[in-house]
Amino acid sequence: MKSRNSVPPAALDLVDLARRREDLSPAPPARLERATLELSLDGRRELVVVTARDGELRVVTAEGATEGPFVEAALALLAGVGGSPARSESPSSPGTERPPPRLPSPLGDALEELLIAVVRSGIEAAPSSTAVREALEHVLREAPRPTPPGLGRALARLRRALADNDVDMVSRILDGGARLARDLREELPTAEAHRRIAAWTHRSSQRHPSTQSISERELVEVGREWLPTAGTGSLQRRYLVCTQTGEVFREERSRGEEASVGPCPRVLRVGLATLEDGPAPRRIRLLQYEVSPALDARVHERLAEMAEREAERVVEHYRQVVRQYPALAEPVAILRADGRLREEGDSLALADDGGALVPLHAPAGIPEVLRERFIDACWIAGRLTESDGSVVLDPFSVGSVEGSSSRVVRL
């Protein structure tokens, strides 16, 4: 019979080798808060980062995935369940499936390099990591010129999330970037892959066009804001609501680019426009339109009619968009506001008909404005974000009607 020490080391993995250490003493009382694992499974290798934060477990691979065999293997390994994941590996066995060869894609390779750099450095060290900085610059070099708004905005959000140590947002953007990298390497991308590529790069294929035309619509601009992007400085978004369907669209322009004319707020009677597939709100290009700067009581009443009254539907809308476009999703919502403002300590929230709350993100100075304007407010519009696991409305405008007069206050 062979002794335990006679097993060739090459046949053992890290767990086996650690267990064979004869000089191990009982483990000291330490907390394992983060682990970076390099796993080998079915002929593939992958980095997996497991973090314990605020009593919750968060797992993400180097490709940004939050589920799958590597995630399951990492959790099983840390929990001490079953054998080592490497033992199921038999790369030399007949019939073992190999991953298909990857097609060359400079942008896809650069994205993968960025994902691996972030995972290897760890979220806390990533903001000052030379490897992460160089990987970000590599992505921008390989991207189309000028930098597409979708890609530039995602990279800017990644930088902010790393600076804020926001594990959830970093995981979402890594997930979206990994999906794009895979799509770019596909020999025959699916229609869904074409839509993702177009949303990130604003380039659609002839076989799978990503635009459609609309005509004879009334749109109401309820807000506009400048947002940071990587590579192009800032991006202006204008939010337009269709009074027929209630759908919110976004018009975008970088600094120096032209967009439709008129102030905010305004009413547009659109003769012709194009819509692009992608995350809500969909991007719109106005081709033929007339502008009126006045929002009368009829328009405000229509916006109030279409405004969402149920917190659950707001949350589900946010979750649905994030699932489809984890890195690009920045949905916008218009909520009913009449008499629904609630104060919870130092924070503000909107209550729906059943008493459920949608928290409001209110930076310095905004709470006072909201309290003043909510006396006669009928709707509030803003971007949906996430904070500590809760969906939050980041408001950018409030609409009110006072007798025969009405107005929009931009926050």
User: What are the tens digits of pLDDT across the range 97-146?
Assistant: 445 555 668 999 999 999 999 988 888 899 999 999 999 999 999 998 88
**Domain contains 98:** no
Contact 167, 53 (CB under 8 A): yes
pLDDT of 268 over the 70 cut? yes
Q: Which domain holds residue 238?
A: 211-300
- 327 or 338: which leads in pLDDT: 327
Are residues 156 and 179 located together in one domain of the fold?
yes
CATH, residue 367: 2.40.50
pLDDT at site 266: 93
pLDDT at site 75: 82
pLDDT of 208 over the 90 cut? no
Are residues 403 and 312 located together in one domain of the fold?
yes
pLDDT of 311 over the 50 cut? yes
Angle at CA 164, nearest 5°, toward 159 and 170? 55
Domain end call among 201, 236, 263:
201
Q: What is the mean pLDDT of residues 12-19?
A: 60
Q: What is the mean pLDDT of residues 185-197?
A: 88
Amino acid symbol at 33? E
Domain end call among 182, 201, 220:
201
Which range (53-57, 199-203, 270-274, 345-349) has the least confidence?
53-57
- 257 or 362: which leads in pLDDT: 257
CA 63/CA 52 separation, integer angstroms: 20
**Domain contains 93:** no
In the chain, pLDDT over 70 holds for what percent of residues?
76
pLDDT of 5 over the 60 cut? no
Tell me how many domains the chain contains. Answer: 4
pLDDT at site 54: 59
Are residues 286 and 358 located together in one domain of the fold?
no
CA 229/CA 208 separation, integer angstroms: 27
pLDDT of 371 over the 80 cut? no
Are residues 285 and 351 located together in one domain of the fold?
no
In 3D, which of 246, 227, 245 has the Cα closest to residue 236? 227
Are residues 232 and 280 located together in one domain of the fold?
yes
Residue 208: exposure state from Cβ atoms within 10 A (0-12, 13-18, ≥19): middle
**Domain contains 94:** no
pLDDT at site 42: 73
pLDDT of 260 over the 50 cut? yes
pLDDT of 49 over the 90 cut? no
What is the pTM for the complete model shown? 0.76
Contact 62, 111 (CB under 8 A): no
pLDDT of 267 over the 70 cut? yes
pLDDT at site 88: 39
Pair type for strands 282-292 and 248-254: parallel
Helical residues (DSSP H) of 34-105, grouped into ranges? 69-79
Angle at CA 136, nearest 5°, toward 130 and 142? 135
Are residues 293 and 322 located together in one domain of the fold?
no
**Domain contains 96:** no
Are residues 312 and 405 located together in one domain of the fold?
yes
